[in-house]
Copies of this chain bind each other. A is one copy, B any other.
C-alpha cells in the first residue's frame, strides 16, 4: 500500500473537497483525485462516491479514514520532532496571530529579531481562524483566550483594553444620542468587546458590520461612526479620537501558545521571548 496515496486520501477525508485537500497538501487537485483513485484500485474498495460537485466518502471510506487518521497525527509529531532536533538557532518559524496584533505589534519589531538571529526566517500569518499547532500550521500562536487542546502549552503574555474611537470631526458634528456604530458581523456577537459595544450602542444604529478590524478602524477614521478598537491601535492614530464612557473597560488577555514538543527548541524559545517583549 502506497503511504502517499493514503496521505492524500486522509487529507481529502479531513478537508472534505479535492481542492481543499490539494491546498492543504500543496499539490494540484488533480493529483489528489488520481491518488485517491489509485488507492481505491489497490484496495479494490470504493472509498468515495464521485458526485457532480463533491466527493463523498462511502461507509468503507469513513471507516478507513477513521482508522488511518492517527497516521496523520504521527506524521505531524515526526515533523515537530524534526524541528525540535535542530540544536542551533535558525530555520523557518511560523507565527500565527490575530491580524491586528500581527500587523501592529509584531511585524514592526521583527527587524530587531532578525538582526539578532540572522539565521531565522519568520513566516507571520495574520488570520482570523486559529491555526492548528497540532498539525504544525504554525510553531507559535497568539490567541485571545486560553486554548484547551491537549499537548499545547499556553502562557499569558499580555492584556489590552478596548475603547470607542471615531474621527475628531465626527465628535464635533454629532451629539452622543445620534452616534452610529461600526461592529463585527454577527458571527462575533459573543466575543466580549462586541457585547460591550452592543450594550453601549443600545438602540442606536449599527451602520457597518465587518469581519475585519482594520476595516472598522478605517470606517471610524472617515467619520462613519464609532468603533470598538484596541487602545494600542486607536491611541497611536492621529485620525482617531477616543470617546470615554463610564463603567469597567473591556479587555482581552493575550496568550502565547506553543506545542509541548517544541517548547525547548532553541529557535522557538528565542522567538517566543521576542514575542513576549513585543507584548510587554
Contacts and interface: CB of A to CB of B under 8 A. Distances in A.
Interface of A: 1-4, 6-7, 43-45, 60, 63-64, 67-68, 70-71, 74-75, 77-79, 81-82, 85-86, 91
Contacts of A60: 85
A198 to B, nearest CB: 46
Copies of this polypeptide in the complex: 2
A7 B75 CA distance: 11
Q: A44, A74, A75, A86: which has the most chain B beta carbons within 10 Å?
A: A74
A75 B44 CA distance: 17
Nearest to A60: B85
Q: A1, A44, A63, A82: which has the most chain B beta carbons within 10 Å?
A: A82
Q: A43, A60, A71, A81: which has the most chain B beta carbons within 10 Å?
A: A71
Contact of A45 (B64, B77, B85): B85
25 contacts: A2-B4, A3-B3, A3-B4, A3-B6, A3-B7, A3-B71, A6-B75, A43-B82, A45-B82, A45-B85, A60-B85, A63-B81, A64-B81, A64-B82, A64-B85, A67-B74, A67-B77, A67-B81, A68-B74, A68-B78, A70-B70, A70-B74, A71-B71, A71-B75, A71-B78
Contact of A3 (B75, B81, B91): B75
A40 to B, nearest CB: 10
A4 B77 CA distance: 16
A75 to B, nearest CB: 6
Nearest to A79: B1
A91 B64 CA distance: 19
Contact of A78 (B1, B4, B75, B81): B1
Contacts of A70: 70, 74
Contacts of A77: 67-68
Nearest to A1: B79
A56 to B, nearest CB: 17
Which 4 A-B residue pairings sit nearest by Cβ, starting from the closest?
A3-B3, A3-B7, A71-B74, A4-B4
Nearest to A42: B82
A231 to B, nearest CB: 42
Contacts of A3: 3-4, 6-7, 71, 75
Given A45-B82, A71-B71, A71-B74, 5 more contacts: A2-B4, A4-B4, A63-B81, A64-B78, A64-B82
Contacts of A44: 86, 91
Contacts of A75: 1, 3, 6, 68, 71
